[in-house]
Chains A and B, each alone.
Chain A
């Protein structure tokens, strides 16, 4: 990829709503992404490989558990800081942001929220440092949007349980040290357990041939009579609200992350439109291109205000799951629309790895599907406003 000339965009002076520390965090992550992610990401995405060497850097900049209290190795930061970190990391690549989201919201969050004190002490500090990487197993081959139908299950066997089943589409699975797995107990209640690599009968085959999130490793989790100590079960949660709590936190981060991808596409297209001359003038001077750019910055600005407000509500512990669904759905759709328009603005150059747009566009196809599809989030809003369930 050509030299990263990204500049942030802040049409409504939203920065003034942020603290000095928020800006320092955001700018530091932005600098880090320019230095460590942009120069290598295109190559890794083309080769469909996750750049493991950046894990320590991700930990250092605070991308792993920024809002987990410092006594467990987290950053002790607020939710807006978390959002800004996700935004900047996804400005680099949605796949790298996915790794950070999974580690923070789908692995550290449940261990912190539902885990025993012993589990927190055992795992959180190494997860925060990136010495240990986790993954989150909820989706199954036959149960995606409807996770409550899951068939992965465990049976009591004294001081341990025996886990059977399979999870699919699991980010980080191929190299994760541990998996937070959601499975049914003998009463049919969904419970969370920590499964560690090396446990007999536990394998993580990689999923190949993706056209999206190519720089993120995706795989399956296969459990064939895996003996999991009872001390690895989360004591504090039962039912679908366990995984849904994690998803709420991750979706919140994705709502911010999508702004990063959108800003990168807009920024690239804006600059290109001023430099690319056709018919004797910069293409940015043509009304059709201006319409695209004007709509892009309008949508980005609306999304920024939406996430900022959601962040304030989340800091006050008042953000509802339905509010988070609205932001995830709106912002990811906004980003993918901008990516598609921006790609066209670059003409043929838009399909190459010289520019980040096509990679963002393809990445966002996963982002609009995982953590609740675009449709499912609409149904959540629909149910919230009508009180009527249209899912089943």
Chain B
């Protein structure tokens, strides 16, 4: 099985988010980057599939050279090789175009992404790539098995779950539950040194979206503690201050 996993390079979940004075961009100084956690789940699933059934796992990232530590980590976790499209991602369309361009003649049986990246949370790339390559796509998948060219996928839906079958090749976006991410071990880190990381130049792609302004959410107000035996006070506060009713 030949699998492509899209990984994006996102700020660590504990990062303190700040924006520049003109509110047009995110301040990157001092920020630690990680593999997008949902992409890590996708990567782990890809490894589980190829460990059982044989095959290769290629990871692809659209980003400049500063994303290479993230790519190297994906190789240390176990990917076979990596492709970096040397462009600066500006919107989902740009990224999807680059991924689709790389993937179009490669006959991947499966393309995996995370359900969304935890920075911009767009959730668009998987569906766009599927459209561009004319492949079926299933989003926000909790469990995935592939047998004899048929993928069985499980999704959570309101009040229950949905089981789908879909022939390969297809595109799947992963969410929690699909696999338990792995921590790179020393053997993995050492073998990542010599695994191929190919850099390709990006296609010229027009920018369809423009970020106008970022705002931080309003600061949370202080918690007010109400004694557990004073229900009346709680109700009063809900009426007058929290205004929930």
Contacts and interface: CB of A to CB of B under 8 A. Distances in A.
Interface of A: 7, 20-21, 23-25, 28, 31-32, 35, 60-62, 66, 70, 75-77
Interface string B65-92: 0001100110010000000000000000
A61 B182 CA distance: 12
B14 interface: yes
A70 B186 CA distance: 11
Contact of B185 (A7, A21, A62): A62
Interface in B170-193: 183-187, 189-190, 192-193
Contacts of A62: 185-186, 189
B14 A28 contact: no
A60 B186 contact: yes
A20 B184 CA distance: 14
B184 A24 contact: yes
A24 B69 contact: yes
A71 to B, nearest CB: 13
Given A20-B68, A24-B69, A24-B72, A70 B190 contact: yes
B184 A7 contact: no
B68 A7 contact: no
A24 B76 contact: yes
Majority DSSP secondary structure for residues of A touching B: helix
A7 B34 CA distance: 14
Interface in B56-70: 68-69
B190 A75 contact: yes
Interface in B182-211: 183-187, 189-190, 192-193
A28 B69 CA distance: 12
A24 B189 CA distance: 8
Nearest to A5: B14
Given A25-B186, A60-B187, A77-B186, 16 more contacts: A7-B14, A23-B69, A24-B72, A24-B73, A24-B76, A24-B184, A25-B189, A28-B76, A28-B183, A28-B189, A62-B186, A62-B189, A66-B186, A75-B186, A75-B190, A76-B190
Nearest to A65: B186
Contacts of B72: 20-21, 24
B90 to A, nearest CB: 25
Interface of B: 14, 68-69, 72-73, 76, 183-187, 189-190, 192-193
Contacts of A28: 76, 183-185, 189
7 contacts: A21-B193, A24-B76, A25-B186, A31-B183, A61-B183, A61-B185, A66-B186
A7 B12 CA distance: 11
Contacts of B185: 28, 60-62
Contacts of A25: 186, 189
B183 A32 contact: yes
A21 B187 CA distance: 13
A7 B13 CA distance: 11
A279 B72 CA distance: 49
A35 B73 CA distance: 18
A20 B69 contact: yes
B39 to A, nearest CB: 16
Contacts of A31: 183
Contact of A61 (B68, B73, B186, B192): B186
A7 B16 CA distance: 12
Contacts of A23: 69
A75 B187 CA distance: 8
Contacts of B186: 25, 60-62, 66, 75, 77
A60 B187 CA distance: 8
A24 to B, nearest CB: 6
Contacts of A66: 186
Max chain B CB contacts within 10 Å: which of A23, A28, A31?
A: A28
Q: Which of B14, B73, B76, B184 has the most CB of A within 10 A?
A: B184
